[in-house]
Amino acid sequence: MSRRTLISGGTVVTVDQALDDLPRGDVLVEDGAIVEVAPRIDAADAERIDAADCLVLPGLVDTHRHTWQALFRNIASDWTLAHYFTGLHGTLSGLYRPEDTYAGNLIGALEALDGGITTLLDWSHNLNTPEHTDAAVDAVVESCSDTAAATGTGSRSARCRIPPTTSAAFVRAASPPTTRSSRCAWHRAATSSPRWR
């Protein structure tokens, strides 16, 4: 049986020129997907969310987030770029364990969801080991966000000649590598580049 939710009575920003915005509208969600948007939807069998006096809009997209750094958000607010490279990449990132990567990615993805960001590109440039990669992917999968993970250089990986983010490989959290060996293969593929040699 499908799960149906009716978001009812809100001001709906449709981002659809054919439908336009609705000053008062309903959105029907079935099994996690929007199936109907209209001024009024009859769905007596659906769980109802009263959205009166609320905006109902699509999730936002963040195309540049260093999700693993969520644990450091407030310590570098007054840093210059030089401080950032020295303090974060030259010091703190080298101390990150896989479980720290997991915590940072989970908190960062949940922080994004809390702010209305449902899709993000995670510039995950602190993947020092395959275990760090596993932790990064596990966290965004657990968050249920729609995340594309771009890999890049980290503290130790920079010394190991892992390529910059411009030659990154991507993985969708909606369908991540499911086995340890496939994740390690993804990590190796993401961290080898003919341009780098």
Q: Is 31 left (phi over 0), alpha (psi -120 to 50) or beta?
A: left
pTM above 0.75, yes or no: no
Fold of 60-190: TIM Barrel (3.20.20)
pLDDT digits (tens, 9 = 90+) for 147-158: 887 776 554 543
Domain(s) labelled CATH 2.30.40.10 in the chain stretch across 4-56
Which segments of the chain are extended strands (E)? 4-12, 22-30, 33-38, 47-50, 55-56, 60-65, 117-124, 146-151, 170-172
Domain(s) labelled CATH 3.20.20.140 in the chain stretch across 60-190
- Percent of the chain exceeding pLDDT 70 equals 76
Q: Which residue has the tokens 């109902």?
A: 56
Sheet order of strands, 117-124 included: 60-65, 117-124, 146-151, 170-172
CATH superfamily of 4-56: Urease, subunit C, domain 1 (2.30.40.10)
Q: Which residue has the tokens 């809009």?
A: 57
More confident residue, 143 or 40: 40
Mean of pLDDT over the chain:
77
pLDDT digits (tens, 9 = 90+) for 158-181: 333 333 332 233 333 333 444 443
96 token code pair: 């990150």
Lowest mean pLDDT among 16-20, 26-30, 182-186: 182-186
User: What is the reported pLDDT for 77?
Assistant: 81
